[in-house]
Every structure is written in structure tokens, then in C-alpha cells.
Structure 1
Amino acid sequence: MLVLQPFLQPDLGLMMFKPGKTLLSELVKMSQGNRLIVMPLPEELVNIPSGRMNSPVIPDSSTSLVDDERLLEFFNHADVQKRLGSFKHWLEDIPHCQLSDGEYCDKNLTVLDGAVRVCWHHDNQERKSPSEKNKAIAKRNVMLWGLGTIQNQLKLDRHISLPELCWWSVINGVHEYLPRSITDESLGIKKKPEKNGLVIRRESDERFELDSKAILKGRAGAVKLIVDDEPPAMFMARPKELTWKSEKYLKFVRSLPCVVTGKTEGVVAHHLILHGEGKLGAKAHDLFTFPLTAEEHRKFHDDPKGWEAKHGSQLFYVKQSIKNALALGALI
């Protein structure tokens, strides 16, 4: 299959191509005297050069994520763009004016507003009077560039899926910038059923409802617990007690909703006190923690026993946090 730039002559009713001798000879062999199919180039191939395609397969646009504008903000994030590479270079590979209307186009090309490949003629027109078409193409280019680059980095010969996109974001450390609706869909987490426009939920749902972004964050930075059934300290007469510390686990706990308010902003990891822990100014193991907002954390330390009388035992919340960590893969 050949990709060629057409030269339209509307007044004469003609469309001309200039493949050159080598490509023309190949075209003769490929056609074997039959008619040829002439069709617009799929937008996913917008920046491939003219010539013979290595693969004769046309991308199936029905499986593309290019229309999923939830990803637009993700691809526009500076950290994500660092992993994708140069958008400018991708644009400069487009060999034609993207605002061509079949009328006049200058032979010289440039990049308009850092997002659209245009000729000098249309560049001047857009600067005088910006069009909606230009804005739409700019958004489309960002989507095509992002999806195409990820597809190439993962060495896929087809469009990427949402789970593959999430995997790419994890291995590149940018999963936190994905919209929650994307991570929900990728992990198969469904919304709560609605009735009369209101979400039906129990009071406890807010505390331990599955959060796809927290799951992804937990799986991306899982803490490994190594079990030693015969630790050296076990054979000592007076072994020194060690305190288990893990900033990764504390970070996971802080990503969970507050056990009292259900809020996810301003959450701290509260270390268990009382119940034999927190004596002599020493903190409990980082494993014995659960999420509280800063305000609730202050209320707890003002009156620990009163807080437990009102909200329940800390041991329950510590257990729930560990249970969530194991279920979500944060602890393995």
C-alpha cells in the first residue's frame, strides 16, 4: 500500500499523484491492471511520510481511544509529556497543512500555537481570525500523539486499551495524573446504583469504598513483607526490640479515606496508642496505623478515650487498613 500526496485540479476534474519511477513500478505490480482504492489516510497515520507502508493494515478506528477526551488533561500534564517525548517533533513530521480546504496552500510549513501543522498561508489566516477547526485539530493532535507514542513504546501493532494505558502510566510513574473515571473503568469498579438522581449508600460505605486511584497507587508502590521464621534475635537472651518503619506504607495509608469523615484530602497516618502501644514517647510500628484527617487527628489526641467511646476502638481501624492493604496489593 502506498501513501501519496494528491494534487487536486477541481476545475479540470482531475486528481494527480507523483509517486516517482520506483513507486510507480511497484504500484503497477501491485495493481496488476485492476482498479485502485483511493481513500483518506486514517488520522492515526497523519505524520507518516509519503511512500510505501511497511504494513498494509489500516488501523481500526472503532477500537481507538482518540475520542476519549478524558485523556486530554492527562496528556497535557508536563510530567506525562516528559515521558512521551517531543510533541513538536511529532508535529514537524506531518508533511501537509492540516487546515487545507482544497484551495490555496503555501509550500512552506510551520507549527501554529505549538499544536497544529499548517502552511504559511493558513498560519496568517488563523492568527488574524482563529477558527474552531484549528482548536479541534489541536486537541486531536495531542490525543493522536499521546496514544501513538505509548503504542510505540509498548511495541504494540494495534491500538492500546485502557488497561495498557494504565500499565504504561505505572511503569512511567505518572499514574496519579489519570482521571479517576479512567482508573475505575480499567479496574472494573462500578459506580454505586442511583435512585432519583441520588446515590444510595450506607454510612459505612464512605469509609471503605474502593477507590481505583488508591488501588493503582497501592499496586504501583507495594510494600513487601519478608518473613523470617528463625530471626537471629530469637536466639538472643535479651534481644533489642525493633520498630517496623515504612514510608511507603504510611503513604498508602494517607491515600485512604478518613475513617470518620470519609474525606481524602489532608489525611494523615495515625499511629496506634493505648492498647499496649505508644509508651515512653515511642511510636507504634508503622503497620499499626489508620487514616484520619488532620482535624480528627487533633481531636483524637485531645481526648483519646473519649474519641474511642464515640467512634469505636482504634484496633478495628488498624485492622481495616491492613486488610485494605492486603486486598489491594499494597502489602505483599
Structure 2
Amino acid sequence: MRILLKPAISREMGIVLLEPGKHLMSLFASGRVLVEMEPANMAHLPSGEVPPAHQPLIADPALAPFFSNEKVIAAAGGVDGVEYWLRGMRAGCQWPHSDYHHSEMVTLRYPPAAVRLCWSCDNQLREQSLDQLSAIASKNAAEYVIRAARGFLHFRDDHELTLPELCWWAFCRDVLSAVPGDMARKALQLPALIAPDVMRESDIVPSVPTTSILAKHASAPGVTELLDARFEPVREKPVVSLIVDPVAPKTLFRLPKRSRWENPKFLEWVKTQPCECCGNPADDPHHLIGWGQGGTGTKAHDAFTIPLCRQHHDELHGNAGVAAFERKYGTQPELIIKLLDRAFALGVLA
């Protein structure tokens, strides 16, 4: 998170005062913050949290089939992920054609993804089939895919994602086959195809599909080695098979020696999820502490983890303590249940 504030300078005392507001105070919880001059492109912004960069790819009609593709949405986190992201937004109801909006918000699944509605609009639109709803859901899907790609490539919110970067994400997530031909031609800087109204069969020139050219470039020597070194854990199918054994050998012992469940693949998936506190890309899988778990020289099971960004992970382990963190964001078991529910719903745990 980044915020833009106007300072109050006390030159006699040699101090600078900032007033971020209660909802932005968490930015200062880590102890130190970076201060820099206001860039020219932010001069028009009001004081407060810096909004994410404008993403022109969302409005490109050539990319609409890609953003609404079921496999692409699944690679970004699935419709469940879209709903989770919409529930964490501070914005209100997304249906603009109503004079009254309830204060409580819900999500309504609508192809290709979902929309955020208030209770009143949800009751009116639940069984409706409207082009306006489809347009809102498509825009939500596009924003969610862009957000997932930006987080996967470790870009901040102020980064404007480019078409080659989006294609690279599609290659890494194994959804390059969903890239439309027009999108591939733009990424390769090839001229657009203009088909004449009348064409003789003898004038047809066979050519390789642009998506194949794109895949060939992405699979060039040296690129695949880089991919294997940096992104191979993400490219693997994110499914952890759980073996259920109701008569496990240890259940037959009176005092069995407990063993810790470890699964690096599950932890890698947890790192790809949004932070449970702020929704930004997570940096760490926090293992449950307290609640009868963990202890000196050991950790809780890998299943009892919470995706947290570095800022909120430091806040949990900070001077305020776990109790203050749980009062602010919810108890650790509650956050773990949310994660496990999403993991089972998406087929990550199967």
C-alpha cells in the first residue's frame, strides 16, 4: 500500500506531522516507512491511499475473449477468488441503475465471473439475464486477471501491465492456448489481418497461427530454463492429494508420537493467494501460533497457514502481539478456515 499525504511542517521544532486517518494507520505499524517526493503523475490525486495504476488492457476489445475465458479465470484464482476479491473491496454496489442501495453487500455469480451488489439489487437481479450485468462481470474478470498477473510477476499496484507481460503470464500459467489471434499479433507487433470482401482460393497463403509463434518465442532456449528456475512451483498443477486412512498405524498406540504434516506444494499455493488482511499479494504463509499449536523448535501443520503480506505478517509478530492482531482482523482459526474453504472449493486440496 502507498499513501499520498500533505505534511504539516513545524520548522521551530524540526518535526513534520502527517494525518493519514484511522483506516491508513496500519501502514505505519512496521516501524519505518519510505518517504519520497510526489511524482508529477500524482499531482492531481487527492490525499489518501494511492489508487492502482490505470490498466488500458482492460478496455481493449481484442482481449475480451481472453479475460472471459474459463481457463484464464481459473488460472488467476477462479470465480471463488473473484468473489473473495469483490467482498474485500471498499466500493459499494456495482449496479448503477437503482435509486436505492442497501448498506450490506453480497456477490452474485454471473458469467463470466461475478458482480458486487447490495441486498436490494441482488433481490431484483438474481434471476435476471441482462447485458449490463454481463458487462460488469466481464470487467470484474478482466480486472481480476490483470491483478493476478501483476502479482504473479511481482509488480506493484502502480505498474501498468503491458501486453507482452500478460502473454508471459499466460505462458507461465499454461493458458497460452486461450490467447486470441489478434492479441498474439499485437504482442508480436505483427500487422493486423484485413480480409478482403472477395478472395480467390488461389490467393490464400497458408501460415502458422500467431499463438504458435508466441509459444515458440516463449519456449526459446534460455527462456524455459529461466521459467523452471523461477516459476516452476506455480506451473505445477496446484492439487495436493490427501490420503484418508481411518485405521492409521499410529491410531493403535496408546501414546502415539505425533508427526507434523508438511507439504511444500501447498505452501507454494498459499503464497499465491491474496493477503487475508488487505487483499494485496501475499509474501509469507504464516503458521498458526497459540491455540495449542506450535511451540519451541516446532511449527503448526502446513495446513494451518494464513497468506499474509510482509507488512501484516510483521504486525502479527510485532510488539502489539497476536491478541491485538486478532481483534483487528479476526482470529487465526477464522482466517485459516477461510483459506481451507477456498482450497477445497478450488480443488487445491483433493
Q: Give the TM interval when normalised to the shorter protein.
A: 0.3 to 0.5
The structure that has the greater radius of gyration is 1
Q: TM-score, normalised by structure 2?
A: 0.43
Q: TM-score, normalised by structure 1?
A: 0.45
Q: Which structure is higher in RCO with an 8 Å CA cutoff and minimum separation 6?
A: 2
